[in-house]
Amino acid sequence: MSLRLRDDGGVSARRAVGERPDPSPDSKEPTAGRNGGRTRRRELVENELHERAAELFAERGFAGTSLQDIADAMGTSRTALYHYVRNKDDLLANLVAEVSQELARELGRIRRESGLSTEEQLRRMAGAIVAQMVTRSARFRLLILSEQDLPEALAAVHRDAKRAVRDELATVIAEGVGSGIFRPVDARVAAYAIVGMCNWVAWWFHPGPDHPIEPVVEQIATMALLSVRSAEDGALHDDGPSAALARLRADLAYLERVIAPPG
């Protein structure tokens, strides 16, 4: 079912024959149910509005896309859009909040959740990034393509959120390195590598009936964990002399970084 806005800010829909139409605003259904329905419909409309806007911004550029273009893509009038956004800048701000800030908050929530092991924290964080990339890929690609053109205030918000994502990952990785669960890696470098691997999904994965999301999220989250996890019983490394020397060098390099005097 595709949604369509009315000029009065309501929602109409193209429905299959035989489906029950939405109640009119004057129907006598209970107020709570009516308000709940309106809230849900508004969320659906806003989601589609953001998706169409992100696609057009990515295709034509922010400056080259008008509210009328977005209204046309939605199958409605520009007047109807004003019930949801004031202007294009509002849309762009909403997209930055959804893609950058929401992800940073989610990773922070995972890190603070009690009862999770360090490994599970990292796995869930990576999974959260991948899940966003596959469900909001158009919005993420828009931000990547438009980063240099964002208004300075919005660019600062975006940078802060990206830094928060990196720091949440790096904190968990550093904790794992300190406890011996993870290999002696540079936590910031590892965080950047994991973010890059997870973000790239937005460019190549296209979910559909033959391409479910869950296996992709699970596989990449596991790969992110294995990229830093210490070997157990030699399962992740060769046992020859060269491999043993390489592990010793890595351990020594890590110790030198840790005990080196500041400055």
Tell me which residue range forms the domain holding 225: 92-230
190: its two tokens = 């590892």
| Whether 203 contacts 141, CB under 8 Å | yes
* pLDDT above 90 (res 109): yes
pLDDT for the residue 208: 86
Mean pLDDT of the chain: 78
Residue 87 lies in a domain: no
pLDDT in tens, 152-208: 888 888 889 999 999 999 999 999 999 999 999 999 999 999 999 999 998 998 888
Question: Residue 258: exposed, middle, or buried by beta-carbon count in 10 A (0-12, 13-18, 19+)?
Answer: exposed
Q: For residue 111, is it within any domain?
A: yes
Whether residues 225 and 102 share a domain: the answer is: yes
Residues 62 and 101 in one domain: no
Count Cα neighbours of 70 within 13 Å in the Cβ-side half-sphere.
33
User: Which amino acid would we find at residue 94?
Assistant: N
Q: Are 258 and 210 in contact, with CB atoms under 8 Å apart?
A: no
Q: Give this prediction's pTM.
A: 0.66
Cα(221)–Cα(208) distance, rounded to whole angstroms? 20
Question: Alpha-carbon distance 124 to 41, whole Å?
Answer: 30
Determine what percent of the chain is predicted with pLDDT higher than 70.
73
Q: Coil, helix or strand for 5?
A: strand
Question: Are residues 248 and 222 both part of a single domain?
Answer: no
Residue 86 included in any domain:
no
Q: Which of 54, 81, 108 is the last residue of a domain?
A: 81
Instruction: Write the pLDDT tens digit of every residue in 200-238.
Output: 998 998 888 888 999 999 999 999 999 999 865 344 445
* Residue 121 burial class via C-beta count within 10 angstroms: exposed 0-12, middle 13-18, buried 19 and up: buried
Residues 116 and 216 in one domain: yes
Q: How does pLDDT run across 56-85, given as a tens digit for each residue? A: 887 787 778 888 998 898 888 888 888 888
Torsion of CA 222, 203, 147, 174, to 10 degrees: 10
Whether 262 is in a domain gets the answer yes
Q: Identify whether 198 is part of a domain.
A: yes
The answer to whether residues 110 and 226 belong to one domain is yes
Residue 54 has what pLDDT? 80
DSSP-H helix ranges across the chain: 31-60, 67-74, 78-81, 88-96, 102-112, 118-135, 137-146, 152-179, 187-199, 201-204, 213-226, 241-259
* Number of domains into which the chain is organized: 3
Tokens of 242: 């060269």
What is the average per-residue pLDDT within 7-22?
38
